[in-house]
Amino acid sequence: MTPIYQTSTYVQNEVGVHKGFAYSRTGNPTRSALEANVAALENGEFGAAYGSGMAAIDGVLKMLKPGDEVITTNDLYGGTYRIFKTIFEQYGIKFHFVSMSGTEAIKEKINANTKLIWVETPTNPTMQIVDIKAIAELAGKDILFAVDNTFATPYLQTPLDLGADIVMHSATKYLGGHSDVVLGILVVKDEVLAKEMYRIQNSSGAICGPMDAFLVLRGIKTLHLRMKQHCINGKEIAQFLVGHPAVDKVYWPGLESHTNHEVAKGQMKDFGGMISFSLLGDNKEDALNVVKHVKIFTLAESLGGVESLIGHPATMTHAAIPREERQKTGVVDSLIRLSVGIEDVDDLLEDLAQAFDTI
Ligand SMILES: Cc1ncc(COP(=O)(O)O)c(C=O)c1O
């Protein structure tokens, strides 16, 4: 097992000659092992690990300068939206939030100041799929293209192979896999970009600790096994929801009816365990009843752990977005989001069925 180097500083041979590590903000052997591991999984060359997914995103945005513009998905993790709008906008960076179900809206916004395209795919919570290859072609050499690969993980999708420049992870989710650590990672292929990434990581200092790096390394050992089961369980639950009389829309990229299902099929190995659905009649009380009565699904923020979680975006993750705004992107009052875990799927189906019976 990779040792946990609970070490801040390292013995040097002589002045200016160290043995590979000098100070743990700059580099730590446990963190380096994790960085190399995730870089390999993403078919990249260089990894950088941070104290959270948000710190990793911060590390990308700091590559920009006042006057630069960013084009990003309009369906975005709330924390990413918040750092863009309330932190980086005040340093003179401009953000355009557009629909990325096609490339038209991106083309309209690209101009000489565009320096970064930032996407999530699948998105949170309506699991929209963005065509990574098509956007990489649009971005070309002059615009950085970053993909938040948290939902898919490198087991299902490797954006660098499809032309992205940067892959970002909230390793808090599937990579860690056990809801016991908060950590973020960036991976790049290009050496010049890597130098910039490490310069900012070291200068800003938002690194993860060695124990957390160890926990994510341990989680990754079972990533492929967990992801397989998340996908199997996800499929069964999506099909159950499609057939249930109380359910209106089901958002899961594996359904043929899903917008961009074909794109998902082309760029993902399978479709994962994240599912959202709305209820017929769109009654908030009905949704709250379902969320309240489940016994195996646990009501909680976050996702990607081995245990199944359930959430109500309108009152939880997306509560800060005005009702009219969130309704436009499908985040209606009755929307429920599931992070399907790896438990026995019959138990999960039974749990949902009995919760539906209470409405
Ligand atoms: C898609 C996505 N990106 C980024 C983040 C932020 O990561 P962290 O919570 O590790 O800072 C999250 C957290 O929920 C997320 O779901």
pLDDT tens-place string over residues 63-119: 999 999 999 998 888 899 999 999 999 999 999 999 999 999 999 999 999 999 999
Q: What is the pLDDT of residue 349?
A: 98
pLDDT band at residue 317 using 50, 70 and 90 as cut-offs: confident
| Average pLDDT of the segment spanning 173-183 | 98
Q: What is the pLDDT of residue 216?
A: 98
Is the CB of residue 123 below 6 angstroms from any atom belonging to ligand 1? no
Q: What is the pLDDT of residues 264-285, one digit of tens each?
A: 999 999 999 999 999 999 999 9
End-to-end CA distance of the chain: 50
Cα–Cα distance measured from residue 20 to residue 354, given in angstroms and rounded to the nearest whole number: 58
Q: What is the pLDDT of residues 159-175, one digit of tens each?
A: 999 999 999 999 999 99
Cα–Cα distance measured from residue 321 to residue 319, given in angstroms and rounded to the nearest whole number: 6
Q: Is 116 helix (H, G, I), strand (E, B) or coil?
A: strand
Q: What is the pLDDT of residue 75?
A: 84
Cα–Cα distance measured from residue 313 to residue 326, given in angstroms and rounded to the nearest whole number: 10
State the DSSP code for 321.
Answer: S
Cα–Cα distance measured from residue 76 to residue 79, given in angstroms and rounded to the nearest whole number: 8
Cα–Cα distance measured from residue 323 to residue 340, given in angstroms and rounded to the nearest whole number: 26
Query: Residue 112 burial by CB count (10 A; 0-12/13-18/19+): exposed, middle or buried?
Result: exposed
Task: Indicate the residue type of 159.
Answer: P
Q: What is the pLDDT of residue 325?
A: 75
Q: Is 258 helix (H, G, I), strand (E, B) or coil?
A: coil
Q: What is the pLDDT of residue 318?
A: 80
In degrees and rounded to multiples of 5, residue 150 shows phi and psi of -60, -45
Question: Ligand 1 atom 16: the closest Cα is on which residue?
Answer: 77
- The number of the ligand 1 atom at minimal distance from the alpha carbon of 182 is 10
Active site residue 50: no
> In degrees to the nearest 10, what's the CA dihedral of 89, 93, 98, 104?
170
Q: What is the pLDDT of residues 325-346, one digit of tens each?
A: 788 888 999 999 999 999 999 9
Active site residue 148: yes
Q: Has residue 323 got a pLDDT over 90?
A: no
- Cα–ligand 1 centroid distance for 35 (angstroms): 18
| Average pLDDT of the segment spanning 136-141 | 96
Is the CB of residue 77 below 6 angstroms from any atom belonging to ligand 1? yes
- The number of the ligand 1 atom at minimal distance from the alpha carbon of 171 is 10
Distance of CA 328 to the CA centre of its chain: 22
Q: What is the pLDDT of residue 209?
A: 98
Question: Ligand 1 atom 9: the closest Cα is on which residue?
Answer: 53
**Sheet strands side by side (includes 336-339):** 247-251, 274-279, 336-339, 309-311, 298-299
Question: Ligand 1 atom 12: the closest Cα is on which residue?
Answer: 170
Q: What is the pLDDT of residues 202-220, one digit of tens each?
A: 999 999 999 999 999 999 9
Is the CB of residue 124 below 6 angstroms from any atom belonging to ligand 1? yes
Is the CB of residue 54 below 6 angstroms from any atom belonging to ligand 1? yes
pTM: 0.97
Active site residue 295: no
Q: Has residue 308 got a pLDDT over 80?
A: yes
- The number of the ligand 1 atom at minimal distance from the alpha carbon of 80 is 4
Active site residue 198: no
Q: What is the pLDDT of residue 348?
A: 98
